[in-house]
């Protein structure tokens, strides 16, 4: 009798819990949607791989079923997903008022509890100003010759190889340059390979958060721990042997740490270094690889781009001079190519915020404490916003000045958290394309297919053969030389 009673009580309790899970409390009308399975929500569907540039099936299917604003549950957290341009814009404009930056606990485990994305208010602004000292226009003007020299040297090296895997080689190139600027790191002079730690980190960055040996997520956490140990060791060595003149960003950080009333802590400084190293090379290398692939597949775009850069060389008084800041700023079609590349790439599948109070929007209520995911791909690939959205068409940006985010374009975020490294990314991409199209030809060898999980990856890489323009290709591959 008692067994039946307790059995019935357990069943009633579970049923009540499942009902509460599927029907969260709300002082208003929640957006339509499903909360998925108890505990894991719709996490498995969210991480399901896709091999298209189109909006991921997870988002697209729910848009068709529920509309542009819907609810779900990811890794046990209730989330409102926004594919609505108006709501996206509203969220970015209300940063710090109605919304604040937020990411799942798994992300904070990966990037650090005190990473710049998790900080708010004065501390965030303080760190943002620190980063602008490195990636702001005045610093980039001084860095431009070094970016061009590094790019030219790497391209020359690659031109002597039978095949180059573009994603990995560009990532290494950008990492080496950025690590030198940030912490004076030189792989040839170091006993440990910092880049390898980031490779392990990246492979599990956007994966199912299961911290068990052998899983991608576990390898990701181990990669972070190893990288952080190396950064902390370098910081301690620099403290023990300070330099008289500021040579890199680490020196600047040390100056801030040694202030009498220092705002910066060592933990925040190390998390900042880690995030800057990651953000500076991974997303840019993906974008560059896609740009070269798109150029290979679109001869008219390549011809127009080459004409622009050949024109820069013809207009120089001194043929042996390097790129100037004015020349960089004159690359109008190049910026159109970059904008179109990052629009289609959608390297960041979601931008997360948290509602600071109950918020009413278009008849729906976003409850206080709920996460909100802005979905840039749904805007970038919307046929209502962009004609033939899956086509690579740089001319769609003709005459547009994109100095920040808009309702139609948010590849670099928006609002007060608009990516401070945007100009650095554009400089690297523009300089790479300049050096590439003025001096080299290339042809695809193999790879180039993509998969989203939901982050963008090249499972087979993208292999090309690179050659100087006055030399012929010796490959047996019959793909026409560009």
Q: How much is the pTM? A: 0.88
d(CA 296, CA 433): 13
Summarised one tens digit per residue, pLDDT across range 245-274 is 667 788 888 888 887 777 778 888 888 888
d(CA 288, CA 286): 6
Summarised one tens digit per residue, pLDDT across range 203-233 is 666 566 677 787 777 877 887 888 888 888 8
Exposure string (b/e) for 10-38, b if CB count within 10 Å is 16 or more? eeeeeeeeeeebeeeebeeebbebbbbee
pLDDT of residue 119: 59
The annotation status of 419 as a binding-site residue, yes or no, is yes
Q: Which of 18-22, 53-57, 99-103 has the highest mean pLDDT?
A: 53-57
* pLDDT tier at 121, thresholds 50, 70, 90: low
- Residue 281 structure tokens: 């090379």
Nearest alpha-carbon partner for 348 in 269, 301, 418, 268: 418
Nearest alpha-carbon partner for 250 in 275, 233, 269: 269
Q: Which of 318-322, 416-420, 423-427 has the highest mean pLDDT?
A: 423-427
From residue 279, alpha-carbon distances to 116, 178, 284 in Å are: 12, 10, 8
Taking 50 as the threshold, does the pLDDT of residue 473 lie above it? no
Map out the domains of the chain with their CATH numbers. 49-67+77-468 (1.10.630.10)
Computed from CA positions of residues 88, 89, 94, 100, in that sequence, does the dihedral angle turn out positive or negative? positive
Residue whose tokens read 């002079």: 189
DSSP per-residue codes, 159-178: TTSS-EEHHHHHHHHHHHHH
* pLDDT tier at 112, thresholds 50, 70, 90: low
High-pLDDT (> 70) share of the chain, %: 83
* pLDDT tier at 125, thresholds 50, 70, 90: confident
pLDDT of residue 153: 96
Taking 80 as the threshold, does the pLDDT of residue 148 lie above it? yes
Average pLDDT over residues 439-449: 94
Judge contact between 281 and 171, C-beta under 8 A: yes
């Amino acid at each position: 009798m008692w067994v039946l009673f307790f059995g019935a009580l357990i069943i009633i309790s579970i049923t009540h819990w499942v009902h509460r899970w599927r029907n969260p409390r709300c002082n208003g009308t929640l957006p339509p949607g499903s909360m998925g399975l108890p505990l894991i929500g719709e996490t498995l569907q969210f991480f399901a791989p896709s091999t298209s540039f189109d909006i991921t099936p997870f988002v697209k299917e729910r848009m068709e079923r529920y509309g542009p604003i819907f609810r779900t549950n990811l890794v046990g957290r209730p989330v409102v997903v926004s594919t609505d341009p108006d709501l996206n814009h509203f969220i970015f404009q209300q940063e710090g008022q109605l919304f604040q930056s937020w990411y799942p606990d798994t992300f904070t485990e990966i990037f650090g509890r005190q990473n710049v994305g998790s900080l708010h208010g004065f501390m965030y602004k303080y760190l943002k100003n620190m980063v602008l000292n490195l990636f702001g226009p005045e610093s980039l003007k001084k860095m431009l010759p070094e970016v061009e020299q590094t790019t030219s040297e790497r391209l020359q090296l690659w031109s002597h190889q039978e095949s180059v895997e573009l994603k990995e080689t560009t990532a290494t190139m950008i990492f080496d340059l950025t690590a030198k600027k940030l912490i004076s790191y030189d792989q040839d002079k170091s006993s440990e390979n910092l880049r390898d730690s980031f490779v392990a980190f990246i492979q599990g960055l956007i994966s199912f958060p299961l911290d068990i040996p052998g899983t991608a997520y576990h390898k990701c956490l181990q990669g972070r721990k190893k990288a952080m140990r190396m950064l902390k060791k370098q910081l301690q060595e620099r403290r023990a042997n300070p330099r008289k003149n500021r040579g890199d960003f680490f020196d600047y950080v040390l100056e801030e740490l040694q202030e009498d009333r220092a705002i910066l802590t060592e933990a925040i400084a190390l998390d900042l270094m880690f995030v800057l190293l990651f953000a500076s090379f991974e997303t840019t290398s993906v974008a560059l690889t896609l740009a070269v692939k798109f150029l290979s597949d679109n001869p008219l775009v390549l011809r127009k781009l080459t004409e622009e850069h050949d024109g820069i060389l013809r207009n120089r008084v001194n043929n042996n001079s390097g790129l100037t800041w004015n020349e960089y700023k004159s690359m109008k079609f190049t910026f159109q190519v970059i904008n179109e590349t990052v629009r289609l790439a959608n390297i960041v599948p979601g931008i997360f915020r948290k509602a600071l109070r109950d918020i009413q929007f278009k008849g729906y209520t976003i409850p206080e404490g709920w996460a909100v995911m802005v979905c840039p791909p749904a805007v970038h690939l919307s046929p209502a916003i962009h004609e033939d959205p899956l086509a690579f068409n740089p001319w769609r940006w003709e005459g547009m000045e994109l100095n920040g985010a808009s309702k139609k374009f948010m590849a670099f975020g928006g609002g007060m958290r608009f990516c401070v490294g945007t100009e650095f990314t554009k400089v690297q991409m523009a300089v790479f394309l300049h050096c590439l199209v003025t001096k080299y030809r290339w042809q695809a060898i193999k790879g180039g297919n993509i998969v989203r999980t939901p982050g963008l990856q090249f499972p087979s890489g993208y292999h090309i053969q690179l050659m100087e323009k006055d030399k012929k290709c010796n490959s047996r591959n019959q793909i026409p030389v560009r």
